[in-house]
């Protein structure tokens, strides 16, 4: 089994992106999965083009994208991506779409087909703060998650795909007051657990992991 | 113009629901809108049945549902509802659906057709903390928002609909450590501003109000 | 009984100070107490000079100073003031002392002799978020609390004194993300409850209201 | 130079204490300092008795106590300890003092004579979240910090002493929602930086590191 794992380059004034740092550190063989890593730009559309190139080159079974969620306390697999681009800040090439579709002919939203609840459960079992998220925002992270699931839906129905948000790493918050973080080692460990679960699990577990609001 | 405004009864161990308290206090005439208020149970399906009864009785132009979002700092109109029920706690009749659809033949998600960014802008202008939210959770609030937009999509295409989450009111947090709240007067004022904007505005304003993640 | 209540002018880029706004709204007669209000500058030393002038003019039984604590969720009477000025930002006249004493011949700290736990208990009973604080910071608020208790200790032993921090008011946080606030009406109500308790209670109640850390 | 470093046993329902875990992992030789470690019980008075025994046995130049501050985001050296025991929960032997002095003949407060601002600056430079704290609470942590500074003041004037609070470690928050943490490796690294600074620095640096409130 081949798993393509993508990480964004830094954005929003940060000099590193914890997602990319963790992706670089991943073992290239996890369980029975071969891990292929890919750096993608924090840029609308171009990020998706790079992913589709890699899909064509490697024909992976799974695409998992990793992104930074500054302010979150743990690792948060995403349940759903929505068909909207609404950028509060410019991306790394100056684009700032407001309330446009990711793909005009796409569904309003796509649900991931990764076993996100099992991923969360295994991370918590391993002593890592993790929970299921119901929003990937409206910036390039949601854009990439939506775009990958759109491609799966339209062209690559045998593939699975999804997105995992990770917190700042410790050194990023040294000068930020009251901002949560995790060590790069723990983030990497969490992602390797997720990849192992993905490689072994087809159907998600059925446990309540909802959010009141 | 007729606007049906719904508020939930208390749930989750609370003895009051700020949404319902605020709904009760609303002026019955706001701008050119006649306001019809409706208490609905915090119960899957039954909440929607009560709303459809009221739709049939009053034939409103707009349905706006109001719900409590304990832990949020301001008033947050919702952008989107997703086709999932995933209840971390039981509803008020003991139902606890896990990962089931709201409606099997519905879209993955529906976007509100209320002018949510204009609503936020007017509340902020009036000195109230407010922002646009991209997740209504996966409990009865999302269920009701999704269900109303489903009904609009399937049966009442002339109608508009949406959801507004409100924080705890001050007295609810007197014994909760470090929990944000607003006064019932400010919440009511914020909802009246929203209703006025809804009654006067068809198309939303085009400003960036996105969330990074 | 005469109670002198002081409020600071705005500082730190804010155009209003919730403490001063609330002080202005106080009833001039609360229980058996005559309330005398005083605006003081957010300036080291000068603030204390203004208070001592008012003490000489009015000979109050109690001095209570009110200050803004942006970021706190409720009303927080202070337990203790420490003999240090350490200003992260300049005061309103450009002073920025670093690690100097408030008064070189003062104690390391002074405990308030107001019934702070009873004040908290009555506010909570009235539905207001309130708790006892163990730090008034190291800026002008702590400076004023320390200075008043120093004066009581050295020159006015019949007097009682203390400090109450209040959160931002709602309109101050309209454009601040995830920042707690209270309405000016609730802050004023909380302060009036405190003044009533002070006027009726000499010895504080003996309940655990400590902080782990 | 000899530095005695103490860590508390677990309390408050936790099965581990990050302070103790980190203390156990410390190098026994840091810079020119010999590090002596000591486990102390989270018990009023008994904790101080154990420390005084160790002082008599080892005659250290410095005593630094480390404690857990669940909810804090970084490592926080403490500036000051106050002469009050006010326990919101029972200690590990069931004691729950309310508003009693630590030592009846002690000062109202003692300031640490460790170079706390230099310690913070070096930790931040090393990429660790750290800041100066102005309150050690009113539970056993403050009790121990106060007690050690009292002993220094009364009996061991050549000694230096102080306290450092550390956050939860990552595994402690795996099942706590929205609670900050650091890895045990980073906490240990931060403490070793502090000890190195203590061993090399007599007078603190003069930089503004105050708190507004």
DSSP annotation of A155: T
What is the number of residues in chain D? Answer: 213
**Beta-carbon neighbour count of residue B153 at 10 Å?**
16
Residues of D in contact with A119 (CB under 8 A): none
For residue A24, the surrounding DSSP H or E stretch is helix A18-25
CA distance B196 to chain A (A): 23
Nearest to A139 among B98, B109, B212 (CB): B212
Residues of B in contact with C74 (CB under 8 A): 173-174
Q: Render pLDDT for C37-63 as a digit per residue (tens, 0 to 9).
A: 999 999 999 999 999 999 999 999 999
pLDDT for B213 beyond 90:
no
Contact A180 D73 (CB under 8 A): yes
Would residue A193 be called left, alpha or beta, if left means φ above 0 and alpha means ψ between -120 and 50 degrees?
alpha
Contact B211 A135 (CB under 8 A): yes
CA distance C166 to chain D (A): 10
pLDDT for D33 beyond 90:
yes
- Nearest of B151, B77, B67 to residue B107 by alpha carbon: B151
- Residue-wise over B58-81: b if at least 16 C-beta within 10 A, else e? eebbbbbbbbbbbebbbbbbbbbb
Q: Render pLDDT for C119-154 as a digit per residue (tens, 0 to 9).
A: 999 999 999 999 999 999 999 999 999 999 999 999
Q: Give chain B as a 3 state SS string.
A: CEEEEEEECCCCCCCCCHHHHHHHHCCCEECCEEEEEEEECCCCCHHHHHHHHHHHHHCCCEEEEEEECCCCCCEEEECEEECCEECCCCCCCCCCCEEECCCCCCCCEEECCCCHHHHHHHHHHCCCCECCECCCCCCHHHHHHHHHHHHHHHCCCCCEEEEEEECCEHHHHCCCCCCCCECHHHHHHHHHHHHHHHHHCCCCCCCCCCCCC
Average pLDDT, chain B: 96
Map residue C133 onto helix, strand or coil.
strand
Contact A88 B210 (CB under 8 A): yes
Q: Render pLDDT for D126-142 as a digit per residue (tens, 0 to 9).
A: 999 999 999 999 999 99
**What is the domain partition of chain C in residue ranges?**
2-200
Which pLDDT does position B212 carry in this prediction? 87
Residues of C with CB under 8 A from a CB of B: 73-74, 123-124, 126-131, 170-171, 173-183, 185-186
CA distance C35 to chain D (A): 25
Phi, psi (degrees; rounded to nearest 5) at B3 = -120, 120
How far apart are the C-alpha atoms of B24 and C198, rounded to whole Å?
37
Is A57 assigned a catalytic role? no
Is B58 assigned a catalytic role? no
Taking domain A2-200, whether its CATH number is 3.40.630.20 is answered by yes
Stretch D160-171: mean pLDDT, rounded? 97
Q: Note the ipTM here.
A: 0.96
Regions in chain A scoring below 70 on pLDDT: none
Map residue D49 onto helix, strand or coil.
helix
Stretch D62-66: mean pLDDT, rounded? 98
The model's confidence at residue D12, banded by pLDDT at 50, 70 and 90, is confident
Is B213 assigned a catalytic role? no
Contact B80 A79 (CB under 8 A): no
Q: Which of D78, D143, D192, D194 is catalytic?
A: D78
DSSP annotation of D9: P
Q: Are A143 and A47 in contact (CB under 8 A)?
A: yes
Q: Are C64 and C6 in contact (CB under 8 A)?
A: yes
pLDDT for D202 beyond 90:
no
Q: Which of D21, D122, D143, D165 is catalytic?
A: D165
pLDDT for C202 beyond 90:
no
pLDDT for B65 beyond 90:
yes
Question: pTM, whole model, 2 decimals?
Answer: 0.96
Q: How many CB pairs under 8 A join C and D?
A: 132
């Amino acid at each position: 089994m081949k798993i393509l794992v993508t990480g964004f380059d830094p954005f929003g004034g940060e000099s590193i992106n914890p997602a990319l740092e963790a992706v670089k550190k991943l073992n290239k063989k996890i369980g029975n999965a071969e891990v292929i890593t890919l750096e993608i730009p924090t840029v609308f559309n171009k990020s998706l083009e790079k992913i589709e190139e890699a899909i064509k080159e490697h024909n992976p079974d799974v695409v998992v994208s990793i992104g930074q969620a500054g302010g979150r306390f743990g690792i948060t697999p995403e349940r759903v991506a929505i068909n909207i681009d609404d950028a509060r800040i410019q991306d790394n090439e100056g684009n700032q779409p407001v309330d446009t579709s990711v793909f005009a002919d796409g569904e309003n939203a796509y649900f991931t087909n990764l076993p996100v609840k099992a991923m969360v459960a295994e991370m918590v079992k391993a002593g890592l703060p993790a929970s299921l998220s119901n929003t990937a925002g409206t910036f390039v992270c949601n854009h990439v998650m939506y775009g990958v699931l759109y491609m799966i839906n339209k062209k690559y129905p045998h593939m699975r795909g999804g997105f995992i948000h990770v917190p700042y790493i410790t050194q990023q918050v040294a000068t930020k007051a009251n901002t949560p973080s995790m060590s790069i080692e723990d983030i990497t460990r969490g992602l390797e657990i997720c990849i192992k679960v993905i490689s072994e699990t087809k159907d998600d577990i059925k446990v309540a992991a909802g959010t009141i609001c």
